[in-house]
Structure 1
């Protein structure tokens, strides 16, 4: 028996990277899990793939309704869907700002808003948002992305304050640079992918990229009904990047 037995979870962006790792970890611990994504996700025993676009309110509401119809309720929401952006504040036009904020910030709002009526009926309701080291530290060439994830951090605290009295805990995980498909695509476009990867690894005090499974482990702690006194928190999974100042090797 696991602490997630009998619970139903939704993970946005659940088809790959961090989202897929979270889906697998929750399912392994006993939850029935729905992966919401633009990409197809195969159904399985206790697994449901639902096509959803977090920038479309109707799509989000239909997806949440499909999950509740299939599993009979909803207990956990992991807001993971997100897209990246590079550049200084000069480099992205208005359309790109709107596109990234629509996915990374407003997408979390839409999913949470659709899920709240069902979470209020849960005995172990939790929302976990995926933030970023970019929300807590100034990184070069990440102005738009940092703004979106800074909004996620602030939204997490506000939602935690609004909904704790209803029995709904809201928390956030702030990954460092993670070994995900998006980072893989960035490396492929670099002039020297090996040198760029080495630079990203060296930026993190433990000397490597963060794995999706490590991030999923933090998500599971925050989503767990055993963590009932953790609310409004932001957990860094960044190899010490935010808090440590080590001497160069």
Structure 2
């Protein structure tokens, strides 16, 4: 669903064969009905937070297609609320889905890319992976971890096999889907507007991170300001600026979608 489905459509347009992994059997059924019968598609029920399920999904994908040339680690879930008011089991799921599962999938697939001397791994972080946002502290932490993992892995890959590429993509709030209702208001919303639809992110993933091998991709591009301003402003000024722009209140209208 969401960004994942939009990426599938774009990869199909480029002639790729695609294995779609999803924890929801209903979502897989809905997508299969929407995309129709297509020998280029493989549907796998996979819980990314379960290592055994990920291992099985990798094996099934390899058995069908013979290789995995591109890995898009896009699975995500979020819990909104002040930390003391949220359920610890759900917060652990946020870590497992957004980060731990990504690491496990990458660990299994990267050696196969080394062996075939080609591969692209795209890890979906977030604008919340560039600065902390109130009411999503664990989600922000997981997405910061994705960025740190990707950057470290990029250097590891460069040391071992330059034919494999690793990238991170950092989307801002998308108007619909997982972050429905979240919005930066006032001047902050002018600087970092809502992403209008999932295909904007899918295009960045496919065209920038995969085809043009960009290392870090931000959408909207103004998300990179968080990195720039953090580097040049004293910490106290940076934190005050974040609050002045209203970013600390951006989750107050969140309704969301568990996905």
**2:172 and 2:192 in contact (8 A); partners too:** no
TM-score (norm 1): 0.78
For 1:148, the equivalent position in structure 2 comes to 142
Equivalent in 80, 101, 107 of residue 107 of structure 1 = 101
Whole-angstrom distance in 2 between the partners of 1:73 and 1:240: 36
Whole-angstrom distance in 2 between the partners of 1:198 and 1:89: 20
TM-score (norm 2): 0.75
For 1:9, the equivalent position in structure 2 comes to none
Whole-angstrom distance in 2 between the partners of 1:65 and 1:201: 49
Whole-angstrom distance in 2 between the partners of 1:124 and 1:201: 44
1:119 matched to 2:104: no
Structure 1 stretch 120-129 or stretch 70-79: which is displaced more?
Answer: 120-129
Query: What's the CA shift for 1:201?
Result: 11
Q: CA RMSD in A?
A: 2.7
For 1:24, the equivalent position in structure 2 comes to 9
Which is richer in helix?
2
Count, aligned residues: 218
For 1:132, the equivalent position in structure 2 comes to 126
Whole-angstrom distance in 2 between the partners of 1:46 and 1:204: 41
Q: Any idea what SS the aligned residue of 1:173 has? A: strand
Whole-angstrom distance in 2 between the partners of 1:171 and 1:20: 19
**2:150 and 2:166 in contact (8 A); partners too:** yes
Whole-angstrom distance in 2 between the partners of 1:92 and 1:238: 29
Whole-angstrom distance in 1 between the partners of 2:190 and 2:103: 30
Q: Any idea what SS the aligned residue of 1:243 has? A: helix
Equivalent in 186, 204, 228 of residue 218 of structure 1 = 204
Whole-angstrom distance in 2 between the partners of 1:175 and 1:163: 24
Query: What's the CA shift for 1:89?
Result: 3.5
1:177 matched to 2:173: yes
Q: 1:143 to 1:206 in 2, by over 3 A?
A: closer
Whole-angstrom distance in 2 between the partners of 1:204 and 1:36: 36
Q: 1:110 to 1:201 in 2, by over 3 A?
A: farther
Query: What's the CA shift for 1:169?
Result: 1.4
For 1:193, the equivalent position in structure 2 comes to none
Q: Any idea what SS the aligned residue of 1:59 has? A: helix
Q: 1:114 to 1:127 in 2, by over 3 A?
A: same
Q: 1:85 to 1:119 in 2, by over 3 A?
A: same
For 2:222, the equivalent position in structure 1 comes to 240
